[in-house]
Structure 1
């Protein structure tokens, strides 16, 4: 017989894998990252005399894989955080918006276990999306003529940045729980993206966990790898807060 815990994990995995929002987010993210990275690099390299080429060249701050990786992680830094945050907000918030949270109280699994299952499913989805981004963007770099030497290192850097940013969006699930709907989570995701980019633009990126991975991947970066623990800590905090909020849910205020 399937245990309630295992059943909860399987249910949340099916929900997320079959949801239109997760599929659209995945496809949209992959397309945007590929177009902005490969397209931008191609424009900078082969059409440098055009307006688009000059704008793209300004973003490619180093030759070879170093510049390509920096361009890719800059794109990933926006698209992955936004897409994963929206999916995470939907995963939790839809239960309140659609009224299905009431039915979850009838399940044999504790609500904290349901929260764990949602967090686990979202984290795995975000990690798989990061892997797909890394493979696709690295393959595009090779197709553009970049050498095999350095490809693996670039792919790993892109994967690490995308995975950390995706996982660091987990606090959005807590906000969607507290706000009893996905709109609160989506608003929090947008705020994270805006604040992160503004802070990075003003040179304050090292105090924002969601900006650190992209700064670390920049050419000649002085960011210590230990600082990558900051977005991981944000992910852990988001998971724990979500679990605690779900454990305290009551039928009357759900």
Structure 2
């Protein structure tokens, strides 16, 4: 156990370096930032200034009110979708690539235990997802101030709400790492990510968002009256469960076993 603790910082550093150099992480980061900016700032502008167009009417239906409250509500939806998709894909790649590339065999032969490696992977991707969520919130807040001319009064609240909801959604995607481990490939994790994304959006559309862990942060950020703040513990619990089952799956891995 002592050796495992001693090598943990080294393993985290290695996983962080792999993640930083990975094309999938870079593409996911850029795509998430571009999409969240276009859909939120562009959608809000269309709702406010082009309401007589099809795009404006669709955007207006998602903007609950003018000003920071409506902008934050629209941003919460965009942040939720982009964060869940980006985090799910990157988490799936992080766990599944070892099986697809055949490097999992070598991991059995090196000193760090598999559970140490799995923990380092989760720490690395969670850190990346949290940073991405903060940057998304900062980009949207800046766009609201500089591009849309919203007053500075609600900027801090918009940033805090979007950053928190993004972090919660990113963490709640951890079960996809278990799926990628269980079925030994990132396609299983990506498949689960898409299923969660579709299910969360359908649930929110039918008014069931407060009952779905991946929808709760979005609904809370957009409609505080529908989801109370204590319910934010649900996505935290989902993240903890995902981390636990991923940890156990890696700890029990055996070569040649299905």
Does structure 2 retain, via aligned residues, the 8 Å contact 1:175–1:185? Answer: yes
After superposition, residues 163-242 of structure 1 pair within 5 angstroms as 163-219=167-223, 221-242=225-246
Secondary structure of 1:127's aligned partner: helix
After superposition, residues 147-162 of structure 1 pair within 5 angstroms as 147-162=151-166
Of 45, 50, 54, the residue aligned with 1:51 is 54
Measured against aligned partners, the alpha-carbon deviations of 1:167-215 in whole angstroms (never above 9, x if no partner) come to 1000100111001000000000000001111122222222210011111
Q: CA deviation at 1:134?
A: 0.5
Secondary structure of 2:222's aligned partner: coil
Does structure 2 retain, via aligned residues, the 8 Å contact 1:66–1:219? Answer: no
1:38 and 2:38 equivalent? no
User: Runs of 5+ in structure 1 lacking a partner?
Assistant: none
Does structure 2 retain, via aligned residues, the 8 Å contact 1:67–1:219? Answer: no
CA distance in 1, matches of 2:225, 2:165: 14
Of 233, 248, 252, the residue aligned with 1:248 is 252
2:93 is matched with: 90
Measured against aligned partners, the alpha-carbon deviations of 1:63-102 in whole angstroms (never above 9, x if no partner) come to 2100000000011111110111010000000000110111
| Structure 1 stretches of 4+ moved >4 Å | none
CA-based RMSD? 1.5
Q: CA deviation at 1:50?
A: 2.2
Measured against aligned partners, the alpha-carbon deviations of 1:112-134 in whole angstroms (never above 9, x if no partner) come to 00000000001000000001100
User: Runs of 5+ in structure 2 lacking a partner?
Assistant: none
- TM-score computed with the length of structure 2 as normaliser: 0.95
Secondary structure of 1:49's aligned partner: coil
CA distance in 1, matches of 2:17, 2:68: 38
Q: CA deviation at 1:221?
A: 2.4
Q: CA deviation at 1:222?
A: 2.9
Q: CA deviation at 1:49?
A: 2.4
- TM-score computed with the length of structure 1 as normaliser: 0.97
Does structure 1 retain, via aligned residues, the 8 Å contact 2:216–2:235? Answer: yes
CA distance in 2, matches of 1:219, 1:147: 21
After superposition, residues 61-76 of structure 1 pair within 5 angstroms as 61-76=64-79
CA distance in 2, matches of 1:117, 1:87: 14
CA distance in 2, matches of 1:131, 1:176: 26
Secondary structure of 1:253's aligned partner: coil
1:134 is matched with: 137
Greater CA drift, 52-61 or 29-38:
52-61
